[in-house]
Amino acid sequence: MSVSMNGKVYLVGAGPGDPELLTVKALRLLRTADVVLHDDLVTREILKLISPAAEVQNVGKRCGSKTIRQEEINFLLVARAASGLQVVRLKSGDPLIFGRAGEEIEALRRSNIAFEIVPGVTSALGAAAAAGIPLTHRRASSTLVLTAGHRASANDDAEWSQFAAAESTLVVYMPGSSYHEISNRLTAAGFAQETPCAIISRATTPEQRIYRTTVSNLRRAPRLASPTLLVVGEVVKFADRNLVEEAASLPELKPGFEAALAQSVAATLRTDEESLT
């Protein structure tokens, strides 16, 4: 297929939420684009940076709710660019990590549409930085694994088991709210019950919350506002204690202290929730 117009598609990463984490190139493209097709998770603060003259459309899918099919998004990208427009496909985080960019790239190539990928700060990096968690550490973790919770099934236990015995950090995107199920899966994969975990909600935004627990107590974790990210591994011990909703002594927790920990966490959560209202 030959395209006569000079339209182009930019697959742009919007980062985890804080507009100051946008790249300079991403900001320039938002200000000059003719069309912006954005994900549902892109924050309002970032959307405000789009040129008032641009056509803006939300094409996001969230929590399994699909208001628009991927094939329709592909068609919009091709059609707008084929008519000579500069199109920004704005994705939360980085477009190449759980962002369906691969499918859109295939569609653009089939239609001979010029495109460019503009990376963004992926949610794992943004959330870890916001919580003060080093995803790798010479004494705690030499491997980083990114996985999607919504794709997880019983068959994934075998995959996760190879990371349980190693010095690994497991980051679960879109873990959902069934922490009981994830706790069971981590246990089945061989993760120790006292392995630290952190649930990070709405990372890098004013609504950010961080809850630290362990694999065994993950099933009792509160349901934080989406989007959330789950970090599993010894590196969670290094989280900034001034930011987390958790007992300060958690990293040194020994077997037998579970009941006392649960009471301490409940008291901490009540205090933090009262301060937020």
Give catalytic residue positions: 39, 61
E-state strands within 23-69: 35-38, 55-58, 61-62, 65-66
Length of the chain: 277
3-state DSSP assignment of residue 169: strand
* Helix 156-164 / helix 179-189 crossing angle, nearest 10 deg: 60
Closest CA to 215 of 163, 167, 180: 180
- Token digits of residue 181: 């199920």
Q: Which residues pair with 214 in a beta bridge?
A: 196
Residue 123 DSSP class? H
State how far the Cα of 93 lies from the Cα of 202, in Å rounded to an integer: 12
Residue 111: alpha-carbon gap to chain centroid: 30
SS3 content of the chain, % helix, strand, coil (to 5): 35, 25, 40
In the chain the first and final C-alpha atoms are separated, in Å, by: 58
> Residue 43: how many CB atoms within 10 A of its CB?
18
State how far the Cα of 119 lies from the Cα of 22, in Å rounded to an integer: 9
State how far the Cα of 221 lies from the Cα of 14, in Å rounded to an integer: 29
State how far the Cα of 197 lies from the Cα of 107, in Å rounded to an integer: 38
